[in-house]
Structure 1
Amino acid sequence: MLKRNPGKILATIEFGELLLETKNFKEADSLFSKLTAKYPDNASLTYRLALAREEQKDSTAMDLYFKTVRLDSTHQGALYKTAKFELMRRNRHNAILLSQTGLRTRPENASLLSILGQAYLASLQFEKATVPFEKLIELGEGSEFVLEKLASVYRRSGQIEKAIATYEKLLEMDNMNGAVHTNLGALYLKIDNAKIAQEHFMMALFIKNRPADSEYINLGLAYKRQEDFRSAYISFQKALKENPDSERAQIELALAADAHFEDKEAVLKLYQNFVEKHHKTGRNDMLSIAEYRIRELKIEVHMLEK
């Protein structure tokens, strides 16, 4: 075709695009390979060849996307492809630079804003991550994915009120999202609203077919904050049933029993069991609490025996 019609380059490119649209990737690959051989410095042709290669799972596709960026540093499609690739490879700095390069030309490119926000989040630059995610919301791109990422940024940067408001928006989309209820419960605990925290933890447990020990621990902590130590004790028991090796559940069980039960020997046994099980690998702060209460309880038990 090229030999017969050397002057009809635009028509040839349109035909190649039609091949891509109709999923004739092998034919598109052949056509754009010939075009790029003739016009090696044309970024658009290189990009289309990369698209055809990617659809065929050809590993050379990514090299072609990077070549496209070298040929045209403003090429939005190639910048997105390369930035996403770098993010997936955990080269967050490169992902940030590529995204920023594209956004200088098109500040409202939603795909690049998303990659930039994710790269900042993955590199723990939470304050910087808020900017692209908030921009996406302004642009009407407030998908469940974007809201979840923004809520995570707010939560991890200590912006609790904003995090709560964003998680509440997620619940408006899907009230049966157990992870959102769990995160809201943890946030409400931080602002000492144990009652609402308890409601969210209960909802998270209701949603899950197989509750994890963490949900029962969180529920127990909500009861503990309200000084309902009996309910807390029961929740920590359930957490241990889910995960008998849970260090946090075992120490919290002992603490709840310590605050609620009068049988000090039984409470002493719980602390001793904790130290026995976790003395080699347990957290020092938890072991210190347990060892301190063991010493105190031994004195109390001894006094009661007199």
Structure 2
Amino acid sequence: MKPRIVTNYAKVYLQKASNTNDEKWIQKAFVHAGNSLKVIPEHFVGFFHFGMIYQMLAEKFNRPTIDQAIDFYSKAIEMDPFQAQFHGNLGFLYLNKGNTDRALEEFYQAYLIRPATVTYLERLTNIYLQKGEMEKALYFAEKAVEINPAEPVYYNNLGAIFLKKGMPDKAIESFKKALELSQNGQVYLENLTNACLSAGKYEELLDCYKKLIERNPSVADYYNNVGVIYKKKTTI
């Protein structure tokens, strides 16, 4: 007896729906996801595809289907708890609903399954940063940098954590690395400026404001701050 094969048409149609913003492809995906469950009842792939369908209906077509998506992803996880994407997608939905504790649980499970996936590391970093749990945020931020040392945003995250921990020198080092990797990163330059201000490093702070003026010469506050720095230096 030949084994039954579950086709992946639902995922193909979901990709078409995403690329075209045409809901007819969602309907086709719905049919094929249902067929896959008829072929193999209780199969995790079918439940996962239904989760994706309802998630896309909510995100791209403004349908009130997030709870259905959560239910189907949860069912897929019940059938196979070792699929990182199932946990990651579910975590993202909980995050959008404002349930950071449940989101944290799911992203952590996704991380345990796929510890080298920087998306999960970044989500965990941001959630712990929002919760004020700096040591945990730092742990995952450093993991992200270790795995992808060419991505400036991870150094920026690291700098933000160091700044909140009252470690401006380490923050300056991280923001400088982010700028080194992305010369046009305005937010990295602004963050570096704030870190230099916190550390009282006026020479570096002056250099930051000069660079900000080069980029945005119409911002009056930059010139004012340069004047304040010069005045500050004469009194030291």
Class of the TM-score when normalised by the shorter of the 2 chains:
0.7 to 0.9
Report the secondary structure of 1:239's partner residue. Answer: helix
Farther-moved stretch of structure 1 (220-229 vs 232-241): 232-241
Q: Is residue 101 from structure 1 mapped to residue 75 from structure 2 by the alignment?
A: yes
Q: Is residue 216 from structure 1 mapped to residue 186 from structure 2 by the alignment?
A: no
Alpha carbons of structure 1 residues 108 and 220: separation in structure 2 relative to 1, 3 Å:
same
Q: Is residue 48 from structure 1 mapped to residue 7 from structure 2 by the alignment?
A: yes
**Pairwise CA distance, 1:201:** 0.7
**Pairwise CA distance, 1:81:** 1.7
Q: Of the two structures, which has the highest relative contact order with CA contacts closer than 8 Å and spacing of 6 or more?
A: 2
Q: Is residue 225 from structure 1 mapped to residue 234 from structure 2 by the alignment?
A: no
> Residue deviations 1:269-302, cap 9 Å, x none?
xxxxxxxxxxxxxxxxxxxxxxxxxxxxxxxxxx
Q: Is residue 74 from structure 1 mapped to residue 47 from structure 2 by the alignment?
A: no
Partner of 1:21: none
Contact 1:49 1:64 in 2 (8 A): no
Distance 2:11 2:126 in 1: 36
Gaps of 5+ in 1: 1-9, 18-46, 264-306
**Pairwise CA distance, 1:226:** 1.2
Distance 1:52 1:262 in 2: 61
So what's the TM-score if we normalise by structure 2? 0.76
- Number of aligned residue pairs: 218
**Pairwise CA distance, 1:192:** 1.2
Runs (4 or more) in structure 1 with deviation over 6 Å come to: none
Pick the structure with greater CA Rg.
Answer: 1
Partner of 1:83: 51
Distance 1:203 1:49 in 2: 42
Farther-moved stretch of structure 1 (110-119 vs 50-59): 50-59
Contact 2:155 2:174 in 1 (8 A): yes
So what's the TM-score if we normalise by structure 1? 0.61
Distance 2:216 2:47 in 1: 45
Report the secondary structure of 1:161's partner residue. Answer: helix
Q: Is residue 113 from structure 1 mapped to residue 87 from structure 2 by the alignment?
A: yes
Alpha carbons of structure 1 residues 170 and 131: separation in structure 2 relative to 1, 3 Å:
same
Letter in 2 for 1:54: Y
Report the secondary structure of 1:48's partner residue. Answer: coil
Gaps of 5+ in 2: 17-23, 60-64
Partner of 2:151: 177
Partner of 2:20: none
> Residue deviations 1:110-137, cap 9 Å, x none?
3311211121223332221111121223
Contact 1:216 1:236 in 2 (8 A): no
> Residue deviations 1:139-168, cap 9 Å, x none?
354422222222222223322211111110
